[in-house]
Structure formats: C-alpha cells, structure tokens
Structure 1
C-alpha cells in the first residue's frame, strides 16, 4: 500500500472519529436534557393530578359536598400526601360563611391572630 494512501486513511479515520464523538456528545446531552425535562414534567403532573382532589377537599370542608361522617359527627377522608401515600384524615368541622370585608381572628398562644386566606 502506498504511504500516501495510508496517510489518507488515517486522516479520514481521524475526521470520522471527531464527527462520531461530536455526535455522541450531542446525543448524550439531548438524552440528559430529556431526562431532566421528564423529571420536571413528572413533578408538574403530580401537582396538577392533586388539583381535583384538593377541590373535592375544599368543597367537602365548606359544606358544598358531603363527606362521609361517623356517628360522632367526624368527617372522614382519604387523601395522598407529597409521597403519594394514602393518609386517613378525621375532621370535626364547623363551616360558616364570612361577610365581604369581615376580619376573622383566632386564639393562638394566648394572643389574638388574624386569619389569612389560604392560597
């Protein structure tokens, strides 16, 4: 084999290696980004998956929807915590509507506290 042919093959092999490793790094970066987005979207999906459950909880607590009650008047419900595990909650509820600009206070540690709306 002539030396110029061996040199040409070596140059083409080097160029092919550069393109191969460049494409490999690009693909690895794309896969890493896809995993990161999948994890982020999965967390977003978990948050949005809880929305109907939270609406049902809100409606049950304010009396727009009937929660199962026992003989003592305690309401019972099953909800999922942040770890997606079921939790049994027992509630003794008293719901009353609030006038437009009325301030609601509660007693905590012997002091009057202003109740803020849950956001």
Structure 2
C-alpha cells in the first residue's frame, strides 16, 4: 500500500474522530442541561405543590365562618401537609400593639421565643 494512501486514511480517521468527540461532547452537554432543568423544574413544582393547602389555611383563618372553638377560647383547625399527614393546629386569636421598645414574642412548646422579623 502506498504511503500517501496510509497518510490519507489516518488523516481521514483523525478528522472523523474530532467530529465524533465534538458531537459526543455536545450531546453530553445537552443531556446534562436537560437533567439540570428537570431537577430545577421538579424543585419548583415541589415548592408550590402546597399552594392549595395554604389557600385552605388562609380561607379558614380569614374566612367569614368561624373555626370550632373550645371552652378556653382556642380555635381548632385540621390541616394536611405535603406528605398528607394530618396536623391539629390550636390557634388563639389575640392582638397586641407592637412598639419599637417592646420585645415581640410568641409561644412555642410552652416557652417564649422572640420574633426574628423585628431584629
């Protein structure tokens, strides 16, 4: 086989390999971008899947119909979370004027916790 033919075949295979690896990298990059977008959209959907439950909570708290009230004046609300587990919320509606000098707190598990929104 003549030397010029061998060189031509080698050059042709080298050019083909360059095009093959370029196409491979382009396809790999497209697949990576597709996976990234799928994860991002999935996370967005997970973030907003509780909107209907949040609307139900808003309507229960701000609606015209009162929530069931016990003898101590606490209101009771049953609400399902994203995993469809049922939670019993006990609410006590009370409002106090907030001054800049006063410390605003809420009660969680029997202890007073300072509101971080005012810091």
Q: Secondary structure at the match of 1:95?
A: coil
Q: What number of residue pairs does the alignment pair up?
A: 111
Residues 22, 30 of structure 1: alpha-carbon distance in 2 compared, 3 angstrom cutoff: same
Counterpart in 1 of 2:76? Answer: 74
| Deviation of the 1:3 alpha carbon | 2.8
CA distance in 1, matches of 2:19, 2:49: 44
Counterpart in 2 of 1:50? Answer: 50
| Deviation of the 1:114 alpha carbon | 5.6
CA contact (8 A) 1:74 1:90 kept: yes
| Deviation of the 1:112 alpha carbon | 6.8
Counterpart in 1 of 2:85? Answer: 87
Structure 1 unmatched ranges of 5 or more: none
CA distance in 2, matches of 1:112, 1:4: 88
| Deviation of the 1:27 alpha carbon | 0.9
**TM-score by structure 2 length?**
0.66
CA contact (8 A) 1:67 1:76 kept: no
CA distance in 2, matches of 1:54, 1:75: 13
| Deviation of the 1:93 alpha carbon | 2.2
**TM-score by structure 1 length?**
0.66
RMSD: 3.5
| Deviation of the 1:29 alpha carbon | 1.4
Q: Secondary structure at the match of 2:85?
A: strand
| Within-5 A mapping of 1:32-43 | 32-43=32-43
Deviations 1:35-90 (A, max 9, x none): 01110111011112222221222322x2417698699963222221xxxx222101
Q: Secondary structure at the match of 1:92?
A: strand
